[in-house]
Amino acid sequence: MSEKLQKVLANAGQGSRREMEKWIEQGRISVNGNVATLGDRVEITDQIRVDGQLLTLAQEKPVCRVLMYNKPEGELCSRKDPEGRATVFDRLPKITNGRWIAVGRLDINTSGLLLFTNDGELANRLMHPKHEIEREYAVRVFGEVDEKVISQLKKGVELEDGVAKFTTIRRRPGDDESLNSWFSVTLSEGRNREVRRLWESQGMQVSRLIRVSYGGLELQKRLPQGGWIELTLEDVNPLRQSVQLPNETESLINEKRNKLDHVRISRMRRSVKKHKLNKNLKRRK
C-alpha cells in the first residue's frame, strides 16, 4: 500500500512532515532515480534517496522515543550554525535509527522546555495547529501592565501573520516595587516569536521568556539547563493520545540509569560546563 512520501520520510525519522515537504520542494529527495515532487506516493520497495544517500526503510517502525531538554538562552534550534554557535542538538544522545526531531522551536533568547522525538508523525501532530496543543510560558515584562492590556491580549491582536491571542494570562507573585512583572501565559499554536510579538503589540518589552510546559507535560524542576532526560511510557503515551496516536508499548529506557538523582544532575552540570568551554575555545581559534 502506497503512502505519501513526506509521511514515509517522517516515519523514518528524517524530520517532521513540514520539514520533509520543504526538502521535497528543494529537490533533495529522489524516488527510483527521479527527483520527487510534492504529492508523490511511494511503496516500501521504492528506492528513496536523501541528498543522494539511499534511505533504508525499516519493515517495522522503531520504538517511539521522546526527550525532555532544558534549553538555555543562547542556543539555536538549528542542527548546525555557520558561525559555530551552540545548538540544541549538540549534546543529545546518539540514535541509531533515524534522528532527533525538535518539536517546535524556541528563539535564541528563550529558555525552557524543548521536546525531541525520533517519531516524525508524533512531532508533526504535536506542532500542527489543528491539534491545539497548549504551550505555557513564564514571561517577565518590563513596565506596568494594566487590565486593559491583559484584556486585549486575551481578546486577540492582529499581527502580520494573522490574529493571535493568549488563551489564559495569570499574574505571578513578585516584588511590588520592581519595574518588572511576571506572568504565566498559555496559547495553542507555535508561530515564530508569537509570545514576544503579542506583548510588543501592546508596547510592552519582554525581558525574560521561559517555556514551562508543552501539551500538559511540565519541565522537570530538577533538570539543569543544557540537560536532557528520556521520558518513560507514562509520559510518552499521554502525548501520543493527545494527538490521536496509539500508545507505544515498548521502551528503551534503563529505569535505574534514567533516574534524575543528585549524581546524575552533577554529571549533567559538569558535562554542560565542559561543552560550553570547548565551544568557546573553538570559536576563538
Active site residues: 107
Backbone angles phi, psi at 104, to 5 degrees: 80, -175
Backbone angles phi, psi at 33, to 5 degrees: 90, -5
List, in order, residues 6 or more apart from 275 with CB less than 8 Å away: 86, 90, 91, 226
Counting every residue written for the chain, the total comes to 285
Measure the CA–CA gap between 239 and 236, rounded to whole angstroms: 5
* Interior angle at CA 225, CA 222 and CA 227, nearest 5: 80
Backbone angles phi, psi at 42, to 5 degrees: -135, 160
Grid cell of 155 as nine digits: 481578546
Strands (E) in 28-187, as ranges, are 29-31, 34-35, 41-42, 48-50, 53-54, 66-71, 101-103, 111-117, 135-142, 157-159, 162-164, 168-171, 180-187
| Four-CA torsion 48, 49, 55, 59, nearest 10 degrees | 0
CB-hemisphere CA count at 13 Å for 103?
33
